[in-house]
Structure 1
Amino acid sequence: MQPLLVMQNSLDDTINYYFGNATQWFVDAVFYEIPITDGVSVPWAVIILILGALYFTVFFKFVNIKGFRTAINVVKGKYDAIDEVSSKDKELKSPENNSSNTAKSPKDKNNGEVTHFQALTAAISATVGLGNIAGVAIALTIGGPGATFWMIIAGLFGMSSKFVECTLGVKYREVAADGTIYGGPMSYLKNGLKEKGFAKLGKVLAVIFAFMCIGGSFGGGNMFQVNQAYKLVEYVTGGENSVLHGNAWVFGLIMSFFVGIVILGGIKKIANVTDKLVPLMVLVYLLAIITILVLNYTKIPNAFLAIWDGAFNPSSMAGGLVGVIIQGFRRAAISNEAGIGSSSIAHSAVKTNYPASEGLVALLEPFIDTVVVCTMTALVLIITGQVTTGMEINFEQGVLLTASALESGVSWFPYVLAVAVVLFAFSSMITWSYYGYQSWSFLFGRGKKTEYTYKILFCVCTVIGSAVSLSAVINFADAMIFAMLIPNMIGLFILRNKVKEELIRYKKVIGAKF
């Protein structure tokens, strides 16, 4: 076993050294921090995401709050009948009135591949994950309990950004001859900006986004996920005495096998898995969390008091903002990817002729991911006393802190967490593979050879990611994911009025008053 470990460490050092030196400039540029006060600085990328979310919330008159009930009704299928295309539907058949690029003829009725619920679960599967478990712990160690409040606020505003990008994703999606949907920022940057007279800019931004998304899918959406899942499984099965110790490649091979089975089936197969897996994995995790909260119910009021006091204490407020915004966005403590544009790729495949309907569904994503799951994780960490403000921890240590919090209530709950983490990682990987492939096909063409090339590479990265600690590669991939916000936010701002038109159109059809 020892020779294998020596060879692995040697490979780690070699790749991290050369890859890190070659790409560190890019990582530093993406995460360059702008000084706010003495000792407090914020990455410029985070500032753009927050300001963008605030702007869209005001521009769309708080659609994140006012449209919440309608969003739930859309997911429940209340307006499905309205979405049917018939010969009597003059609006959809009329080129001048049909503002959606889908539904070009009666035979195209309900264009798309998945339902509203499946699109939502597919997107959630990519966002709910390790950030909800480890990232929250990191935020609390830096910002204290008050960080939880700002995490919730940021999540609520992020709902508006998600609404905008997912509405555009459906509006400008492209439908292949076989019915396959191709959508997301690549499409609305290219087609949407062309409509506005910025064809060249749109093509450049679309290419930049696609390139960044591919890198992010291999790294943050794959290698990082499987690597952290392996480390927790190894920990709960005995650490250095675990049968998996030194055999990470076996874990990676198993994950690669199951990922491969799913992703070869495309978005329909992915959606069929995520619409069952996401509710299950969230339920398993939340039941464990709720159990700990019930066992410590007397401490819950004090926990909320600590969150409130910490949020508005001047010294804690700065720390909370740093903890949530910097750590939360960089390592997905907020985890919803609002403003990044990735989720719109999954939502683009929905069966609908009204883009705003899916935009409304999408705004539920940050609420579930951040306001519900992240907040409950924070409560458990606070009431069990597992985090201390000022601690410096990494993602692996953050996962272990959450495991310790669960273990304090029920000794075998770390095993439940391990199952949840594996499910989180698996679901994130299969959805990010779809994001990456959509970007890959945009750059290199749509065909079986192109498709299988990408998916084989993705599965190979799964094995590599579990077996080695490619910190430099992961940092680079992390930076690529955040760099996606640059072309995406430019597109969202330029096309904001198109989204407004779609929202007015959909509200009129369903008779909504918000």
Structure 2
Amino acid sequence: MSAALSAQPAGQGVVESIEETVNGVLDPVVGVFASIVFFSVGNFPLVVIWLIVAAVVFSVYFGFIQFRGFKVALEVVSGRYSSPSDPGEVTHFQALTSATAATVGLGNIAGVGAAMAMGGPGAAFWMVVAGLLAMCTKFVECTLGVKYREIDSDGIVNGGPFKYLPVAFKRFPRAVSAALTGFFAIAILLFGVAGGGMFQANQTAVQLREVTGGETGILGGPVGGLIMGILIALVVGLVLIGGMKSIGSVTEKLVPTMAIFYIVSCLIVILGNADQIGPALGTIFTGAFSPEGISGGFFGVMFVGFQRAAFSNEAGIGSAPIAHSAVKTRRPVSEGFVAMLEPFLDTVVVCLMSALTVVIGGGLVFEDAMAEYAETGSSPDGVLLISEAFGTITGWWPVLLAIAVMLFAISTLITWGYYGLKAWHYLFGRGRASDNVFRSILLFFIIVGCMASFGTIVDFADAALFCCAFVNILGLYILMPVVKDEMRKYLADRKAGTLHELGAETDEDLARIRAEQGNA
């Protein structure tokens, strides 16, 4: 045994050996698969072009409803037009926070820093643009998720792409339709276990280990990883057992709290250097149109921003409609309006806060990261850039950032566990024994993820996830006239002053619903 290996904590060498073996065996297969999924035109992956073009098409087709309907979205999510008797499992707000829990996290924190190191400050401008366009994609897919959902006799909702894709593809041969929807479900399942489960657990363990003394601390080594894995698995397992209602109850508290903490932290850095806000915004704007030293120039920085935004908000992937379909409503398009807020929050608000924080507080670390990427092409660690900026508040503030990132990762893990469960239901059916098999698989990978990363498996799951975009968006194109019809009727009812969003078809219905609201 080598001296290096013998100096490691007990069991560490075995874990690393297994990890290297698994990654080594799968590397060639995953490399081919990823090269197909992320086939690039120039330096821009085709899947990202597919997502951005769809966002533009939907925005034009629906008359930029993300801007015209923003006030409607705020009114609906507030519960103003909701009734306790509406069918579904969770409120509009809980559905929004559950779906946002799967997207707000490392992509909006580390992803922004990485994008700006690769594309300069101007990349943040294009992330915001992409986020604004993506709002319409979420509007379309989440309306359909509710439109074609089914509610069991026990009140459990089954919705999302597993229900609307078969409708969209019914004009295809049955075998083709089943294959496309089945492929979508398999990809969601893979990412829910490996990407949403193992990767997020790994990142959570890294953050916990970092704030408890690193590898030599109380949670260092494989034993520490095992302990963290079991604890995280217990938390996730208990929440998942409660179903969507339990997830909504957790995320409606966790997501806003963490988001507020993160935004307030950014504002402390930004407002503490108020004289630099104008120059920082100017740097971001000018960098978007006249980048210096960036590969590809104008198009290079735009592509970096669009790509990171697509990876951040998951609009068009088909994951968010699974959570949104559980909402309590009688009008599917009402949840489409609520879903628009998701990219606005995670890609416009959070990403812009992150960008300003890095430009103002990143200092030499930010400059060094850009220089290193330009020289070596190595992907920068975006969390370090945010942490450096937070360090300007006080030396221990980055510890709070580590805790926030950890909680974001756990909320993402919980929501993706739910997505994976719904995919499992589509493929293998629903039942107590079947559900327990899935939960056991997920919890096992959570524990494994805390001990070893198996990066190749996660890369495979990541590629599988973005395969979903090709299938899902094809279905959205076919069904977008259905969404437009729903939107027109809904807006006409609102303009006429009727309360059809409450399901009031008669005066008696209206009186009953008003009485329910008064007693709620």
User: What is the rounded CA distance, in whole Å, between the counterparts of 2:473 and 2:241 in structure 1?
Assistant: 31
Matched, 1:216 2:172: no
User: What is the rounded CA distance, in whole Å, between the counterparts of 2:279 and 2:195 in structure 1?
Assistant: 36
1:423 pairs with one of 384, 407, 421: 407
Find the counterpart in structure 1 of residue 306 from structure 2.
325
User: What is the rounded CA distance, in whole Å, between the counterparts of 2:336 and 2:173 in structure 1?
Assistant: 24
Give the share of equivalent positions with the same residue, in percent: 42
Find the counterpart in structure 2 of residue 471 from structure 1.
455
1:237 pairs with one of 212, 236, 242: 212
Residue 256 of structure 2 aligns with an amino acid whose one-letter code is P
SS in 1 for 2:44: strand
Residue 309 of structure 1 aligns with an amino acid whose one-letter code is T
1:20 pairs with one of 24, 27, 47: 27
Once the two structures are TM-superposed, the CA of residue 244 in structure 1 deviates from its matched residue by 1.8
User: What is the rounded CA distance, in whole Å, between the counterparts of 1:504 and 1:465 in structure 2?
Assistant: 47
Preserved contact between residue 198 and residue 453 of structure 2 (Cα < 8 Å): no
User: What is the rounded CA distance, in whole Å, between the counterparts of 1:242 and 1:465 in structure 2?
Assistant: 19
Find the counterpart in structure 1 of residue 480 from structure 2.
496
Tell me: CA distance 1:403–1:2, structure 2 relative to 1, closer, same or farther (3 Å).
Answer: same
User: What is the rounded CA distance, in whole Å, between the counterparts of 2:285 and 2:457 in structure 1?
Assistant: 38
Once the two structures are TM-superposed, the CA of residue 395 in structure 1 deviates from its matched residue by 7.4
Find the counterpart in structure 1 of residue 421 from structure 2.
437
Which runs of structure 2 are paired with 1:122-161 in the superposition (5 Å)? 122-161=98-137
Matched, 1:228 2:214: no
Q: Scaled by the length of structure 2, what TM-score is found? A: 0.88
Find the counterpart in structure 1 of residue 243 from structure 2.
266
User: What is the rounded CA distance, in whole Å, between the counterparts of 1:257 and 1:441 in structure 2?
Assistant: 22
SS in 2 for 1:19: helix
SS in 2 for 1:446: coil
Tell me: CA distance 1:144–1:65, structure 2 relative to 1, closer, same or farther (3 Å).
Answer: same
Tell me: CA distance 1:205–1:409, structure 2 relative to 1, closer, same or farther (3 Å).
Answer: same
Say which is worse superposed, 280-289 or 161-170, in terms of deviation. 280-289
Q: Deviations over 1:398-429 (max 9, x none)?
A: 22222122112211111111111111011001
Q: Scaled by the length of structure 1, what TM-score is found? A: 0.89
Which runs of structure 2 are paired with 1:273-292 in the superposition (5 Å)? 273-292=250-269
Say which is worse superposed, 308-317 or 499-508, in terms of deviation. 308-317
2:398 pairs with one of 387, 411, 414: 414
User: What is the rounded CA distance, in whole Å, between the counterparts of 1:77 and 1:201 in structure 2?
Assistant: 41
User: What is the rounded CA distance, in whole Å, between the counterparts of 1:135 and 1:242 in structure 2?
Assistant: 28
Preserved contact between residue 285 and residue 417 of structure 1 (Cα < 8 Å): yes
Residue 488 of structure 1 aligns with an amino acid whose one-letter code is N
Tell me: CA distance 1:14–1:197, structure 2 relative to 1, closer, same or farther (3 Å).
Answer: closer
Which runs of structure 2 are paired with 1:33-112 in the superposition (5 Å)? 33-35=40-42, 41-80=43-82, 110-112=86-88
User: What is the rounded CA distance, in whole Å, between the counterparts of 1:12 and 1:197 in structure 2?
Assistant: 43
Preserved contact between residue 26 and residue 479 of structure 1 (Cα < 8 Å): yes
SS in 2 for 1:363: helix
Matched, 1:8 2:15: yes
1:174 pairs with one of 147, 150, 172: 150
Say which is worse superposed, 279-288 or 226-235, in terms of deviation. 226-235
Q: What number of residue pairs does the alignment pair up?
A: 477
Find the counterpart in structure 2 of residue 96 from structure 1.
none
User: What is the rounded CA distance, in whole Å, between the counterparts of 1:180 and 1:512 in structure 2?
Assistant: 33
Q: Deviations over 1:271-295 (max 9, x none)?
A: 0111111111111211221111122
Preserved contact between residue 284 and residue 416 of structure 1 (Cα < 8 Å): no
User: What is the rounded CA distance, in whole Å, between the counterparts of 1:394 and 1:497 in structure 2?
Assistant: 44
Q: Deviations over 1:50-77 (max 9, x none)?
A: 0000000000000111111100000112
Q: Deviations over 1:93-114 (max 9, x none)?
A: xxxxxxxxxxxxxxxx521101
SS in 2 for 1:387: helix
Find the counterpart in structure 2 of residue 359 from structure 1.
336
Tell me: CA distance 1:355–1:451, structure 2 relative to 1, closer, same or farther (3 Å).
Answer: same
Find the counterpart in structure 2 of residue 93 from structure 1.
none
Tell me: CA distance 1:209–1:221, structure 2 relative to 1, closer, same or farther (3 Å).
Answer: same
Which sections of structure 1, spanning at least 5 residues, go unmatched? 36-40, 85-108
Say which is worse superposed, 357-366 or 451-460, in terms of deviation. 451-460
Residue 321 of structure 1 aligns with an amino acid whose one-letter code is M
Once the two structures are TM-superposed, the CA of residue 14 in structure 1 deviates from its matched residue by 0.6
Tell me: CA distance 1:179–1:199, structure 2 relative to 1, closer, same or farther (3 Å).
Answer: farther
Once the two structures are TM-superposed, the CA of residue 430 in structure 1 deviates from its matched residue by 0.6
Preserved contact between residue 142 and residue 390 of structure 1 (Cα < 8 Å): no
Once the two structures are TM-superposed, the CA of residue 242 in structure 1 deviates from its matched residue by 2.4
The alignment's C-alpha RMSD in Å is: 1.8
